[in-house]
Structure 1
Amino acid sequence: MTTTSKVAIVTGAGQGIGFEICRQLAANGIAVILNDMDAPLANAATNTIINENGRCTAFPGDASDPAFIQQMVNAAVEQYGGLDIVIANAGITLFGDFFTYTPDAFRRVMQVNLAGTFFLAQAAANQMKKQQRGGAILFTSSVTGHQAHKDLAAYGMSKAALEMLAKNLVIELSPYKITVNAIAPGATLTERTMSEPGYADTWSKLTPMGRAATTADIAQAALFLVSEQARHITGQSLVIDGGWTSTSPQP
């Protein structure tokens, strides 16, 4: 991926998939605003990228808050001169039985996963429209937006909605040469999932390709979709799951 002086915002990027996306963006010469709700995590992640000679600024805070989102966009413009790439990666997974799922849990999942993504796309698109040089927006969906998964009714619903948002925004954003796509990761080895006993072994058996994804597997696909090589791809959702959605065995 070849770029010159581009600027990106990535939310939910203190660790896991988001962090690896930031690392790879920075390694390709892109200046990154790295967001995470956890300030120490965001600062540590940013320091790691800076120590690898990347340009990166930590911007900790609630990526589901429209006022905070606008502050992030303003910071990208003030610190790096513009905004070219936005990856809405912040999300929350609240497992729960459908029959007893609470309104508070439902509202939180929708606020972070849907409202946060929607208003980040809105703020970013308004900035890109003003710049008149196009841009790329990417949403993080999930295989649970494609296939049913026990105790994830609300989460799966939110992720399916993100893919429809990507498709719908083609109408709004294409006149300004802004692409909008989604990635749908399957089982991925992250700090969070690896804390679950037997996660890697279980998903290596359930995944046709014989292993769960690494964060690099997901990040490389994300980088392609926000690159110049993908400038004619928009409104699409890319499943990255080693074939799991084709067979869909449950853990």
Structure 2
Amino acid sequence: MKKNTNHITNKVALITGAGQGIGLEIAKTLAHKGYFIVLNDMEKSLTEDAVKEIIKTTGDRAIGISGDSGDVDFVAEMVDLAQKQFGQLDVAIANAGITLFGEFLNYEPSDFFEVMRVNMGGTFFLAQAAAKVMRQQTSGGSLLFTSSVTAHQAHKNLAAYGMSKAAIEMLAKNLVIELSESGINVNTIAPGATLTTRTAEDPEYERTWSRITPMGRPASVQDIAHAAAFLVSEEARHITGQNLIIDGGWTSISPSPY
């Protein structure tokens, strides 16, 4: 791996669900801090465009791999790519997830199991594969999972999604027992309403969440990315098993957007 002394670090970060939105912003933020990035998204075009965007501003510091982050074999492929390309893996961020809305009484089993496969399974097995690599490194590593405020407060039509996000927060706590001795810290972030390409498709989204968020606006992707970058940094090495809610105070009062 080529070292670049103009950057703060030369660590390697693998980020799933990073073709757009929060994941892409985390990838860009870490690249600017000197990380080499292995970027994943389900959609090939999003992966390719995201890598090009990072390379344009930070140099040749990113590679992409498209595929299903909920597939165990593909997870192993991503981790292997990071090792083969850069010789190490310092940070793994399980950001990929899906949201399938639906009323509890009518929720389809196929939707339920798909949410659990991607959100819970994708997170669990990325953490497992990455930790196996990190425990062999004298420097250990950092794991970060993307949760949601719906793991803390009820949200209409998101029972399965909220359940999956609460589960990965418990996973982070539990892994403290098994991974701390290997120098691996594990944390989660729980974004609230966030302005992304997807949420911008709703013309009422920003106005609605600005009205009910104590800080007067939904989060930007930069708000989330800065918090993520801190939790995987050297400055946060003694922080583990924790969850950081980034929601402008919404969970403190929890008014419904409906």
Task: Answer yes or no: same fold by TM over 0.5.
Answer: yes
Secondary structure, counterpart of 1:5 in structure 2: coil
Partner of 2:194: 188
Partner of 2:160: 154
Q: How many residues align?
A: 250
Instruction: Calculate percent identity across the aligned residue pairs.
Output: 62
Shift of residue 126 of structure 1?
A: 0.1
Partner of 1:211: 217
* Unaligned stretches of 5+ residues in structure 2: 1-6
Shift of residue 197 of structure 1?
A: 2.3
Q: Give the AA of the match of 2:23.
A: G
Secondary structure, counterpart of 2:80 in structure 1: helix
Question: Is residue 16 of structure 2 the alignment partner of residue 21 of structure 1?
Answer: no
Equivalence map 1:71-150=2 (5 Å): 71-150=77-156
Question: Is residue 10 of structure 2 the alignment partner of residue 9 of structure 1?
Answer: no
Partner of 1:41: 46
Shift of residue 4 of structure 1?
A: 2.2
Secondary structure, counterpart of 1:20 in structure 2: helix
Secondary structure, counterpart of 1:35 in structure 2: strand
* Unaligned stretches of 5+ residues in structure 1: none
Shift of residue 81 of structure 1?
A: 1.0
Question: How far, CA to CA, are the matches of 1:164 and 1:3 in structure 2?
Answer: 32
Question: How far, CA to CA, are the matches of 2:138 and 2:128 in structure 1?
Answer: 15
Q: Give the AA of the match of 1:248.
A: S
Question: How far, CA to CA, are the matches of 1:241 and 1:20 in structure 2?
Answer: 17
Shift of residue 3 of structure 1?
A: 4.1
Normalised by the size of structure 2, how large is the TM-score?
Answer: 0.96
Question: Is residue 211 of structure 2 the alignment partner of residue 199 of structure 1?
Answer: no
Normalised by the size of structure 1, how large is the TM-score?
Answer: 0.98
Secondary structure, counterpart of 2:194 in structure 1: coil
Question: How far, CA to CA, are the matches of 2:178 and 2:197 in structure 1?
Answer: 37
Task: Map Cα deviations across residues 35-65 of structure 1 (whole Å, 9 max, x no partner).
Answer: 0000000100100000012400011100001
Question: How far, CA to CA, are the matches of 1:159 and 1:31 in structure 2?
Answer: 28
Question: How far, CA to CA, are the matches of 1:14 and 1:70 in structure 2?
Answer: 19
Question: How far, CA to CA, are the matches of 1:3 and 1:112 in structure 2?
Answer: 33
Question: How far, CA to CA, are the matches of 1:145 and 1:211 in structure 2?
Answer: 21
Secondary structure, counterpart of 1:106 in structure 2: helix
Question: How far, CA to CA, are the matches of 1:20 and 1:198 in structure 2?
Answer: 23
Question: How far, CA to CA, are the matches of 1:126 and 1:226 in structure 2?
Answer: 17
Partner of 1:53: 58
Question: How far, CA to CA, are the matches of 2:128 and 2:87 in structure 1?
Answer: 19
Q: Aligned-residue CA RMSD in angstroms?
A: 0.8
Question: How far, CA to CA, are the matches of 1:3 and 1:233 in structure 2?
Answer: 21
Q: Which runs of 4+ in 1 moved over 3 A?
A: none
